[in-house]
A = this chain, B = another copy of it.
């Protein structure tokens, strides 16, 4: 496959991590699957907005959805998503720490 095409697909999957609400959802789903209403209760906001974000994440293959009765259960498609997300969180924390140290030296 063409390299540029891979970069596009790769970036597209990564885009799923690029929104606060989606990060919050990934965080929530680390331990266990949750149904839509449970997620909404924690994240807040409108049903419509959450539904669309979950839909995007599912289409990009980073979430799985399972219907049971009237409830839709969401879970991470892979442990790798959670790992990648944690690594990027560490990058953030490292950066914040460096900033703090710089400020303290001034």
What's the tally of chain A residues with a CB closer than 8 Å to chain B?
39
The main secondary structure of chain A at its interface with chain B is helix
Give Cα distance in the complex from A88 to B13, angstroms: 7
1/0 per position for A77-102, CB-CB distance to B under 8 A?
11011011101111110111010000
Most interface-central of A78, A83, A91 (chain B CB within 10 A): A91
In the complex, whether A20 has a CB less than 8 A from a CB of chain B is yes
A62 and B78 within 8 A (CB) = no
Chain B neighbourhood of A90, CB < 8 A: 80
Q: In chain A, residues 17-32, which have Cβ atoms closer than 8 Å to a Cβ of chain B?
A: 17-24, 27
Interface centre among A11, A24, A98 (most CB of B within 10 A): A11
**How far in angstroms is the closest Cβ of chain B from A90?**
6
Residues of B within 8 A of A81 (CB): 87-88, 91
